Every structure is written in C-alpha cells, then in structure tokens.
Amino acid sequence: MNIKITGSGSYIPTEIVTNHDFSKHVFLNDDGSPFPLPNEVITEKFHDITGIEERRYVTDNLLTSDIATIAAKKAIKDANIDPETLDYIIFAHNFGNVKKGAIQTDLLPSLASRVKFDLRIKNPKCVAYDMLFGCPGWIEGVIQAQAYIRAGMAKKCLVIGAETLSRVVDLHDRDSMIYSDGAGATIIEATEDNGGILAHETATFTYNEAYYLFFGNSFNTAHDPDVRYIKMNGRKIYEFALSNVPKAMKECLDNSGISIDDVKKVLIHQANEKMDEAIVERFYKLYQKTPPENVMPMSIHKLGNSSVATVPTLYDLMMRGEIENQTLQKGDVVIFASVGSGMNINAIVYRC
C-alpha cells in the first residue's frame, strides 16, 4: 500500500507587513526596560539572522478556521475528490480562533469541526479533530493519517496546518517580528501510484525543554498581566534544534532505505533561515556530505514563520511552481522536518 499526498492547497494572507513597518514599535527587554538600540539596527540584525524581509497577516475579519477552510477547499479540488468521502479531518494549530483585539481563544467547537461544517460535509463518519503539537503539527497529522490508512481505518484524510500568530504576539517583544499567519492543507490517501511515505520519526523532549516556548506576559509592565502572549527562549531553541533535528532526520532516512544522495529536497519548518541552514548542514555532515545547492527551498523571506502552516504551504507553492528555482518532480525523494513547542521534533521521508 502506498500512501501519498494527492492534493494540496494553501492560503497566503493579503496583508503584507515589512520589517520597515516595525520602525515605530517600542521594543523592550523582558524586564520592561527600554531596548538600547534604535529600531533600524534591530530590524537589520533581525533580517541578518532570520532572513525575514516581510510577513503576511490576515485581515481583521478572518479567523484561523476561515483560512484553513480556504486551503482545504483548494486541496480537495486539487485531489479531485468528493469531500463526503473523507474519513478524517486533522487540523493542526496551537491557539484556536483568536478574534482581532480579543483576549481569549475560541475552541468550542473544535476548529476541525468548524472546517467540516464550512465544507458542508454531511457524513458523520468523517471524524474531525484538532491537534496541538507545536510547529510540527501538520507533519504529525500526516503521520497519523497514514497510520489510520495502514490500519484500514481510513482511505482519505484531510490534514491542515493553519495559524494566525499575529493575534498572539507581544508587539514590545522583538521576537514578534518572526511570526506570521497562513494555512496549508493536503489530502492523504492510499493509491496504486509508486512512492509515498517511506518512513517517519517523531520525538517529544520535555525533561528540560518543555517550556522553551510558552505563554507569558507582555514586556510592557503596564499591560494587563492576565493577557498572555507567545514567548520563546530563542537561544535554547536554536541549540536544541541543532543538536536534535539532524539526528531525527538521519534516523528517519536510514529507516527508509534511501541514500542521502537520492534526496532531492529538504522541506523544513520555516523558523529561522540561519537555524534551518545550520540544521541541514549538520544533517548532511552526519553522512560526511555537503548539502547540494538548492536542496532547501525557503519561503520565510516573504511569508515569515506561520508555525504549522509553513511546511504544507511551502509544499503547495512548490507543486504549483511558485517558489523561484525550486520544483518537485514525480519520483523525487523529499524530507519533511520540523521542530517546535513541546518540544517536539518529527520528520518524514517521502517519494513524490
């Protein structure tokens, strides 16, 4: 049995926010004291490290479940399937629906149930549930979908990754410039076609690492202490990712039986350009190799870090020929990999 991505879709928000747009922000240290450098220097250093030039935010009227539905409809159309034949809708996100200006998330009903409602699916045996797994959520959803299919519990699954991080950032925190909004969706099904998911690997590190990403107070001490924002220990995450992600990717590739020389592309979570480059370099170094030119497509420069949406969005854009000098052909072997809050790591070796 071969289990493949038979359709994909994405939603790229229309609001473009450039680094220059942060020029008037008041950035503070975590103790509330003024940050000593001018914003022009802050944004320049930020760009040098992350590679981010601009990011996308949703318009005020859209919620995470809305943009997920748009991406899902595109994936269903691309796969040319009847949505009534879906057995599972797995929706990876982290913050639910957060309305513009709201201080609460809305998870009742689940976002997966909302997408099923919006798709007007009548079939009650189409099971819809949410997954909270940090940035690796979409990849983990694909791993679960293929497990259902291999177990005979499903034939077709819709796996979505969507987030509106612009609604949960502290504008006084320099890290707020990293985050963006977006949605990606894929149809996973059993096919007679060659290839598909060849191996997968997942791990959760919590003993020391659980709170490297967390919900915390604004750096502005005058703000309501009961309103929380996404926070991270960037240095700890960087060191953790470089130490553990390449190992997980290697274990996954070794289990697949595929040679490192046959890997055409590495589609890695768009977290930070420098970090992603270092992860891929370390991965290849484990095989005493140097990464081939253009092996790591990137979308972070223009789209920022949209958490669970980055990998499925990158895949969809590549399938549509919308990433410059980057294509995927039938038979190409790619590695999907991600790291995120939890701290969770996962990888898939996949033949297109």
Q: What is the pLDDT of residues 258-277, one digit of tens each?
A: 999 999 999 999 999 999 99
Q: What is the pLDDT of residues 154-201, one digit of tens each?
A: 999 999 999 999 999 999 999 999 999 999 999 999 998 889 999 999
Q: What is the pLDDT of residues 134-154, one digit of tens each?
A: 999 999 999 999 999 999 999
Superfamily of segment(s) 2-194: Thiolase/Chalcone synthase (3.40.47.10)
CATH number of 197-351: 3.40.47.10
CB atoms closer than 10 angstroms to residue 24: 7
Angstrom distance (rounded) from CA 315 to CA 222: 42
Residue with tokens 């269903």: 76
C-alpha distances in Å from residue 305, one per residue of 7, 14, 42, 177, 180: 23, 15, 18, 9, 5
For the full predicted model, state whether its pTM sits above 0.75: yes
Angstrom distance (rounded) from CA 68 to CA 159: 10
Residue with tokens 């099923």: 116
Terminal C-alpha separation, the chain: 15
Domain boundaries in the chain? 2-194, 197-351
Residue with tokens 């006084």: 172
Fold agreement between 2-194 and 197-351: yes
- Residue type (1 letter), 307: S
* CA nearest neighbour of 163 among 178, 143, 184, 146: 184
Angstrom distance (rounded) from CA 252 to CA 257: 9
